[in-house]
Amino acid sequence: MNIADLRREYTQSGLDRKDLAADPFEQFDLWFKQALDSDYPDANAMSLSTVSTDGKPSSRTVLLKGFDEEGFTFFTNYNSVKGQDIAANNQVALLFPWLQFERQIRICGVAKKLSPQQSADYFLSRPLGSQLGAWASDQSKAIASREALVDQLNEATERFKDSAPTTPEHWGGYKVIPKTIEFWQGRESRLHDRFEYRLTAGTWELNRLQP
């Protein structure tokens, strides 16, 4: 198999300027609902890219847990690699790769911590196992074995055997406040449709980009 020969044509649909909402969050809501209604697996999964203090980029998949007219929310361990990166440089990028629909959405902006109360409200809505996992895992740190990780979970379980887990200080949410949001729709002959919303002086400007 020659990997260079792997290709396919994108033929499902196109994207025209007249079909786009004036507000990018409305457009995101439309595409997101279409993905959910089609039972797209993990439609809220998005790649989060950060940059370290020494300029090294890093990407991983996180889950979108909410969005509004201000931005896109996810939760994590603040001491993780991504948390440390954001603390030093809060410029981040998000990517929703909905390739089943020959679509993707790219978002660039700044990540800001949610308030402790907002983080606590979400933490307390999580399943018990997820709450204990947040206490058990020192995310991104090396560990000797799977057994050692299970031991840490058992310790957390014992700690909260008589009370509900509290929200760890090292855990919480971020909201990514976008500066640009790009909607991409695959087309034949690689002449894809790309439209970028860019926030300029408080107003969203919409431009078609060359593929």
Tens of pLDDT, residues 37-47? 998 899 999 99
CA distances from 209 to 131, 187, 198 (A): 43, 14, 12
Domain ranges within the chain, ordered by starting residue: 10-124+169-209, 128-166
- Catalytic member of 60, 106, 187, 190: 190
Residue 193: strand pairing partners: 185
pLDDT at residue 12, rounded to an integer: 84
**Helices 146-159, 128-136: inter-axial angle, 10-degree rounding:** 110
- C-alpha to C-alpha distance for 49 and 19, rounded to whole angstroms: 29
Residue 47 CB coordination number (10 Å): 15
Closest CA to 62 of 86, 38, 39: 86
Give average pLDDT by consecutive 10-residue segment, the chain, 211 residues.
80 91 98 94 97 96 98 97 97 96 97 98 96 93 94 94 95 98 94 97 97 96
Q: Which fold has domain 10-124+169-209?
A: Pnp Oxidase; Chain A (2.30.110)
Q: What are phi and psi of 63, to 5 degrees?
A: -110, 130
Task: Based on the residue annotation, tell me whether 194 is a catalytic residue of this protein.
Answer: no
Alpha helices in the chain (DSSP H): 24-37, 81-88, 116-123, 128-136, 146-159
Burial 48-73 (b: 16+ CB within 10 A, else e): bbbbeeeeeeeeeebebeebeeebbb
Q: What is the pLDDT of residue 110?
A: 98
